[in-house]
Amino acid sequence: MSGAATSALPSAAAPLASGASRGVSRRVLPGFHLTLGYAVLYLSLIVLIPLSALVFKTFTMSWDQFWVAVSSPRVMASYRLTFGASLIAALVNLVFGLLVAWVLVRYKFPGKRIVDALVDLPFALPTAVAGISLTALLAGNGWVGQFLEPLGIKLAFTPAGIVIALIFIGLPFVVRTVQPVLEDTEKELEEAATSLGATRLQTFTKVILPSIMPALLTGFAMAFARAIGEYGSVIFIAGNMPMISEITPLIIIGKLEQYDFAGATAVALVMLVISFVLLLVINGLQGWKRRRSEASA
């Protein structure tokens, strides 16, 4: 098994690299080959091999077929919508996520614990439930929609509704990445800034904001990545009109329903590559965040 093969090499090299105590722990604790082997096997069976099917399926297409499938006007319109709506939603979450995290960390108010617990609702509430409930709220006869409709504002069944659904889905990411970092920031730095004559706003933009910036960007990237792939909450509220309010995941579903497996796979591969890139960006940001917190510790 590949787990055993990869572990054979570093067992000789690692004690030199990572210190004697690590070397001892490997000899003393049992179960290394069993657990690593099982983890790699399970990861391969559930994730890696099925994902590779996507790549192999695309190889059965010619370059021209692939290009036509991923760049037809309807698909291009769906990319613009998916990325545009995800970007706007992630930006809204960046601002309001920071605000919610700030309020939860710095201020005392009644019901704070309930508010704190409620932040994770979008993680726990099934996306289909969020979708139909936001639609019911924003439709012309809904609690919110009935006040907006007379003003000429239509949110349900428009791209604006998609943004609303994506704000809901991405809400916890920025709050939960910024909150712990904000809790760890040292008041001394802010005191120093103030005693040197900085206004509160200057202290915030020049002292606090730079120290939470890696966490803020990590949360932003996570919310953005989640929004791009989101399907369940969006399809109910979107209206799903081709060229106008049809997101890319729905394009994949549409092609599948027409038994266009190759076309669906091609678009899915584009989405997968984008997901990979975003995953690497998030990893990079987290590394930056860790180094920042280690440097300040």
- Spatial separation of the C-alpha atoms in residues 226 and 119, rounded to whole Å: 16
Residues 164-193 within binding reach of other proteins (CB under 8 A): 167-168, 171, 187, 190-191, 193
Pick between residue 193 and residue 214 the one whose CB is nearest to other proteins: 193
Assess 216 for contact with other proteins (CB under 8 A).
no
Q: Residue 191 to residues 87, 133, 186, 276, 297: CA-CA distances in angstroms?
A: 36, 46, 9, 42, 18
> Is position 124 an interface residue for other proteins (rule: CB under 8 A)?
yes
**CB of 278 within 8 A of CB of 225?**
yes
Binding mask 32-71 for other proteins (x = CB under 8 A): x-xxx-xxx-xx--xxxxxx-xx--x--------------
Q: Which stretch binds other proteins (CB under 8 A): 63-71, 73-81, 148-156, 277-285?
A: 277-285
Helices (H), 44-158: 49-59, 63-71, 73-106, 112-118, 121-124, 127-138, 145-148
Told to check if 200 binds other proteins by CB under 8 A, we report yes
> Given candidates 1, 74, 76, 123, which one binds other proteins under the rule CB under 8 A?
123
Q: Which of 75, 268, 285, 289 binds other proteins (CB under 8 A)?
A: 268
Q: Total number of residues binding other proteins (CB under 8 A)?
A: 101
Residue nearer to other proteins on the CB measure, 202 or 296? 202
- In sequence order, what DSSP letters do the residues of 204-251 get, joined into one string? IIIIIHHHHHHHHHHHHHHHHHHHHH--HHHHHHH---TTTS--HHHH
Q: What is the closest distance, in whole angstroms, from the C-beta atom of residue 162 to other proteins in the complex? A: 15
